[in-house]
Amino acid sequence: MHTPQTATFGAQANALLRKSATYQKRNVRTNICLLSSPIFFCVILLIIKLLINNVFLSGPDFECGCKCMQCCRNGQNCRELQQGFCDTDQGYECKRFDKDKCGLAYSSSVQASWCEVKDPSSWPPVVQVPRWWRRAKPARPGVTQLLAAPSSAPSFTAADLNGYIYTRPSRMDRTAFLQFLEQLITANGTVNGHLFTKAGFTFGTSAPGGQQKYIESAFSASNGLDLLLPNVGGLSCAALGVNFTSLASQGGPVQPAKGAPVNQTRVTAPLINVLIAFVQFSSGTTVTEAEVLAVLGSRPVVADFLEQDTSCTDVVMAPVATGGDIDTLLYCGFYQARCNGTPIASEYPPALEFSAASAASLSVSVFYNDTDADGGGGPSNYLRVQRTLSGAVSAWWANMPGGTQADDVQLLGVMSMPKSTSKLKLDFSNLLGPLFYTCMNSIYRLMGVCPQHDLLWEQLTGEEHLLFYGRLKGLKGPVLLGAVASGLKSVNLANGGVGQKQSQKYSGGMKRRLSVAISFIGDPQVVYLDEPSTGLDPASRRNLWDVVRGNKEGRAIILTTHSMEEAEILCDRLGIFVDGQLVCIGNPREITARYAGYFVFTLTVGHGHEEAAKAFVSHMSPNCRLTYALGSTVKYELPTADITLSGVFDAMATAKTQMEVARLTSATPIGSHVLTAIRTAAASSPTRWHAPGPQVLDWGVANATLEEVFIKFARQIGAETNEQ
């Protein structure tokens, strides 16, 4: 008979290996699926990536523009472009590109996002104006600038502000203009568009703002450009008309704008021709095409912006009374508003309301059409309100007593930052990498959490819990031991060896305190406390609040609680949620002052004086609301619109004086002159009460509490409460 022997480690390992091999052999199909599924998953992702990059993210709009060798319209009249791009919005199509010559000089405003830009161009701040056929009458096709000037001294009129919001271009002769062109475009094609602003030109456009300013879409989009002229110093489109119209023909036949009513057009000309027309008007000198070409030479002009179709547009200032009037006009003028039941377009550029102005400060609001920011499902468009706001500041600066030149505070231009060549593509490594290789250790060190329900191991002591979480935060040696001892002491678990007891022996309050200590171990920068004081007795709750307040410095603490008292004591800034909706946010005093809108007035009177008390309070605050009544004690909400805090004190002082009169009259004889003096004092009060006053035993007045604000919001939203 064989005698059993104790198996060696090798024998045990051999048995385990044979068992596992047999098991895996019988599950070979499952193992193949497990091993091949990651490979199959990666192949599928690769196919999706190639499909999206080569089908959906390819084409001219997703790469830097290149020189067009054959730009054709309807397949005919093909020509090579030396600069600029073949504009598909105008019906052109490029048949062949030179891929060796790519850059901003051959790109549209959309393509410019992908080009390398070492020296970004600056562009003048442009005003967002409506499409000309939607502009408000009677100025159409001109624009109407709505303006609410300051109503109190020092006040400005529309005429005072006109020349600063829309500036008048400076006089420029032939020599000055050629020097201006030389500085406007550098040898490498960078545009110094801010020089337009310094020269006094104000431009507008109805083109979307886009998401970048490597090329300002106003100077490249098919919407065209507006030269905005205020009627200042005799300069207007009518005065410029002869020069402008004669030069407009040089830009080719006038085309109707896209979306414009049939058979309605307006005169446009290339921007360079408009500038030449202004030079001729302001100085009487003439600039020839040959002189312009001699200055620009072969410089690569970005997007060929000097050829942008430009129209002369008059600006008419329209004073209005208030910002409310501006809001109504802008909303109802929008072509989709239908305020009067019909889609009548009467649109305006960004409008201004000067709320207050003084030599030391300015308060101004800009009203604009927010639909201009719609990016069509993508990033929001750049909003062109900077030029309007800059003009408002310049106008204030120049019109204030002692004001200096408006140029001192003028916004000259906008631009994007330098960048390298880029291409939009789908890269799963950038998407999946963070999912698998996140830097969790860094996140753990920065964050502390006290969950709503205690997550503790019953077999571990409080000290062992803190040691474990401290090690997770990277604490070691004496630093770790010191942090554990400090944490136990802060939540009152260090005395009597409580920290060395297993957590299963802790009461509910002790477990909550330990959870709070865990959240602060390792000095985290952000701490989340989810109802930390649940289940604590009043003394422990106060101690816990002291711990939280003592740890507020240098970190952010996000606390959720149902206790308004706890929120008011601990929070510097709080938000109130009712029925899942965030109804207000601010510091506690701001919330009670802003949203309560009433005082809480408590009054206790003698027996039999209840009706007199109600009549007295109703006289003091006609819109008062009774919220509590028990015996001879009543509590009211007094709207701040009815009475001030000083008014409450004055009314109660009057009531007490009347009580004293009644007591002295009925109790003991008193000199007539003394009684008359008391009555006169009572009658002189502005809140005097003519009927017999109540016998006031006690009273108090206070601001509304956060809990009362919460109940108010709950009533407004319709949330269920236990209050009847």
Question: Predicted confidence band at 22 (pLDDT cuts at 50, 70, 90)?
Answer: confident
**pLDDT tens digits, 238-250:** 777 644 444 444 4
Could you say which DSSP state residue 624 is in? -
Arithmetic mean of pLDDT, 414-427: 82
Q: Could you give the CA distance from residue 317 to residue 236 in angstroms, rounded to a whole number?
A: 13
Question: Within 10 A of 125 (CB to CB), how many other CB atoms are there?
Answer: 24
d(CA 67, CA 105): 8
Per-residue pLDDT, averaged over 528-544, amounts to: 85
pTM listed for this prediction: 0.52
pLDDT in tens, 421-464: 887 777 776 666 665 555 566 777 788 999 888 888 888 889 99
More confident residue, 359 or 206: 206
Q: How many helices and strands (H and E) does the chain possess?
A: 22, 20
Q: How far is CA 137 from CA 58, 115, 140, 603, in A?
A: 44, 42, 5, 62
Number of neighbours of residue 494 by Cβ within 10 angstroms: 18
Identify which of 59, 41, 38, 39 has the alpha carbon closest to the alpha carbon of residue 425.
59
What are the residues facing 574 on neighbouring strands?
A: 586
Q: What angle do CA 329, 332, 334 make, to 5 degrees?
A: 105
Name 228's bridge partners: 313
pLDDT band for 180, please (50, 70, 90 cuts): very high
Mean pLDDT (the chain) is 80
Instruction: Check residue 143 and give its pLDDT.
Output: 92
Looking at per-residue pLDDT, the higher value among 336 and 573 belongs to: 573
Report the distance separating Cα 191 and Cα 183, nearest Å.
9
Mean pLDDT value across residues 341-365: 84
Q: Are 519 and 470 in contact (CB under 8 A)?
A: no
Q: What's the pLDDT tens digit per position in 545-600?
A: 888 888 888 889 999 988 888 888 888 888 888 877 788 888 887 777 777 777 88
Helix H or strand E encompassing 558: strand 556-560
Q: Residue 693: its pLDDT value, please?
A: 63
What number is the average pLDDT over the span 698-716?
A: 78
Alpha helices in 166-270 (DSSP H): 174-184, 194-198, 237-248
Helices (H), 254-346: 271-283, 289-296, 323-333
pLDDT given for residue 535 in this prediction: 77
Give the CA radius of gyration of the chain.
39
11, HSE (Cβ side, Cα atoms, 13 Å): 4
Kind and range of the H or E element at 45?
Answer: helix 28-51
Between 670 and 692, where is the model more confident? Answer: 692
Lowest mean pLDDT among 316-325, 492-501, 505-514, 660-669: 660-669
CA distance 312 to 245: 10
Q: Is the peptide bond before 639 cis (omega within 30 degrees of 0)?
A: no
- The domain 441-571 is placed in CATH, from the list 3.40.50.2300, 3.40.50.300, 3.40.50.450, 3.40.640.10, at 3.40.50.300
Model pLDDT for residues 118-139, shown as the tens digit of each residue = 888 899 999 999 988 889 988 8
The predicted-structure confidence for 54-79, as pLDDT tens digits, reads as follows 888 887 788 888 888 889 988 788 88
Phi-psi label, residue 471: left if phi above 0, alpha if psi -120 to 50, beta otherwise: alpha
Is the model more confident about 89 or about 528?
528
* Token code pair at residue 244: 């402008």
Length of the chain in residues, anyone?
Answer: 724
Q: Are strands 581-586 and 574-578 parallel, antiparallel or unpaired?
A: antiparallel
Rounded average pLDDT over 238-265: 50
The average pLDDT across 356-360 equals 77
Q: Give the confidence band of 719 by pLDDT, cuts at 50, 70, 90.
A: low
Largest Cα separation within the chain, whole Å, is 133
Sheet holding 92-102, edge to edge: 76-79, 66-73, 92-102
Average pLDDT over every residue of 358-382: 79
Confidence (pLDDT) at 220? 80
Residue 684 reports pLDDT greater than 70: no
- CA-based end-to-end distance of the chain: 89
Burial 52-74 (b: 16+ CB within 10 A, else e): ebeeeeeebebbbbbbbbebbee
Query: Average pLDDT, stretch 398-427?
Result: 76
Spell 417-426 as b/e; 16+ CB within 10 A means b.
eebeeeeeee
Q: What 8-state DSSP symbol labels residue 342?
A: S
The label of the residue with tokens 């109130």 reads 576
Rounded to an integer, the average pLDDT of 221-249 is 71
Task: Kindly state the average pLDDT of the residues 394-408.
Answer: 68
Which residue is associated with the tokens 């108010």?
A: 712
User: What is the DSSP code (8-state) at residue 552?
Assistant: -
Measured CA angle at 181 (ends 87, 99), to 5 deg: 35
Higher pLDDT, 533 or 245: 533
> Which residue is it, tokens 């701001």?
590
Q: Which residues contact 186 (CB under 8 A, 6 or more apart)?
A: 119, 192, 299
At residue 557, the 3 state secondary structure works out as: strand
Confidence label for 401 from pLDDT (cuts 50, 70 and 90):
low
Domains of the chain by residue range: 26-56, 60-114, 127-258+265-409, 441-571, 598-703
pLDDT in tens, 589-647: 777 777 777 788 888 888 888 888 888 888 888 888 888 888 888 888 888 778 887 88
